[in-house]
Chains A and B, each alone.
Chain A
């Protein structure tokens, strides 16, 4: 159990959270029409006569939406319902041309499933937790209203109208903002692995309706509010934090929580009541008579299963067990599918360049990636996906370290130059004469000079101050301009001081 509590004036309160995540299914065309789904088009250009709900227009289901939702369901260990159907949710709003949204209430495509979030002490998640998913259903997105273009009018853009969404409904299994954040991040990771949603929250491809209630520990569930369309992990956590505290304040002041729809304001980090949606509570759901039951063959579901890639939990376990990565590195490298792809390419190339097994180079590659490359990219304000160097260039660099052409510290310099110039590692080492020295004579000469110049320290060393050995190594390397083979430098110094 999470220990997250709100400390009110009258005692402690527990928070209960459920998320309804709307994830745009990655498809070319809309759920029930052939218009495009690309982000950022001119208003009403990606609108068909069907999307505009012209008289007599009819929906025809895009199979790819179903395929992707089924794959997603399998990825969260959910039951796939071979028989499902679409219902109409009736309400009037300017962003809803048909006067109803085609959704699935009574017979959703995907039933009960779950996903696991990891313990993260620092983030406030003391133990790993399984979060239940009640269902995934497929539905139409609404259009968009713009309120700031005209003094007395709002403008309606239907480009998004009819775009396919999965609504992924969690169980109210989360009890802290951190858990909700971890759930949403994990869900996003899975969706991106599966390829069913690009997870671009800033473009609205993924957004969450956040259900929050508070109660005294051990008491029955309190009345919940639903905060609509929160579009980042951080905002979800902030919305919960604010909403839970607001509810505690209301209750402690003797008030009651009204079951209502609220809106999150990212600028203030607060939520407010959304009056415009208030009277829309009687949705008169009924099966859409324009659409027949959706019946999936076992072979279709099996094809969906077979087409799934290795999923994050499995990949993470494999990185730890088969590749010997630390738990931290395994977590970092599997958190996003593109990062994992980058890493796996790097490992494959490194192994082949060095003629070694992947398991023998993976750990080194992971360490280099998470510390060296991430650190250097961070300084440039970049991430792995917009890194100036790809896995091929990185593998070349690692090979130079692996075959002792350069040392680890030279490798750092080379990496910086690579990022700066885009040139290959070999070219930089050659051009700048960075190959490490394995010439024992040169190393001995440098060592002799260092020892001679630091006679006092040699005395102290011999007197038992062994920590000074590092100083001699450093000075010798410096004299060699960093190019000395570290092992040889060590050997030579040991012998001379020995």
Chain B
């Protein structure tokens, strides 16, 4: 499958990356080169093969339902959460107004 300018524009929009027309023109052949190359996977017979789910066989551990058991993964850290915010506003993150 190969992509054209419109497809790349759509993908870039889905990925929320603004691209110029010139970027698009350059990206199309690059992406097509990479896609054509990865498509050789299509020739592998994968009949009866399960997709990889865990590279080292292992399953999920269940955490205890305890609040702030580990301060590194608990709440009550608003200052830390907001410390790097581009627009902190009265304890909130500010973003351009959203119309729903």
Interface residues of A, Cβ cutoff 8 Å to B: 27-29, 33-36, 42-52, 57, 60-66, 85, 92, 94, 145-147, 149-158, 263, 274-276, 279, 282, 284, 287, 291-295
Contact = CB atoms under 8 A, between A and B. Distances in A.
A157 B63 CA distance: 25
Interface in B45-68: 53-54, 58-68
Nearest to B92: A155
Contacts of B41: none
Interface in B39-98: 53-54, 58-70, 72-78, 80-82, 87, 89-98
B67 A35 contact: yes
12 contacts: A28-B65, A33-B74, A36-B68, A43-B78, A43-B90, A49-B72, A145-B95, A153-B89, A153-B97, A287-B53, A292-B60, A294-B59
B94 A29 contact: no
B78 A34 contact: no
Main secondary structure of the interface of A (DSSP, over half): loop
Contacts of A61: 60-63
A325 B87 CA distance: 62
B100 interface: yes
Contact of B95 (A46, A153, A263, A284): A153
A44 B91 contact: yes
Contact of A42 (B62, B72, B82, B91): B91
A28 B66 contact: yes
Contacts of A284: 14
B75 A48 contact: yes
B38 interface: no
B73 A48 contact: yes
A146 B61 contact: no
A45 B62 contact: no
A34 B91 contact: no
Given A44-B81, A48-B73, A276 B60 contact: no
B75 A36 contact: yes
Contact of B98 (A64, A65, A276, A295): A276
Contacts of A295: 59-60
Nearest to B65: A64
B99 interface: yes
Given A45-B76, A60-B73, A274-B100, A156 B92 contact: yes
B16 interface: yes
Contact of B68 (A35, A94, A292, A294): A35
Contacts of B60: 61, 291-295
Nearest to B74: A34
| The 6 residue pairs across chains A and B that have the minimum distance between CB atoms | A63-B62, A35-B75, A64-B65, A155-B92, A34-B74, A156-B93
A66 B94 contact: no
A276 B98 CA distance: 8
A281 to B, nearest CB: 10
A295 B61 CA distance: 9
A162 to B, nearest CB: 10
Given A66-B62, A153-B89, A292-B54, A34 B95 contact: no
A275 B91 contact: no
Contacts of A35: 67-68, 73-76
Contacts of A293: 53-54, 59-60
Contacts of B65: 27-29, 62-65
Given A29-B66, A34-B66, A47 B61 contact: no
B98 A47 contact: no
A434 B74 CA distance: 60
Contacts of A154: 94-98
A295 B62 CA distance: 10
Given A48-B75, A61-B61, A92-B16, A153 B69 contact: no
A62 B62 contact: yes
A309 B39 CA distance: 54
Contact of A50 (B67, B73, B91): B73
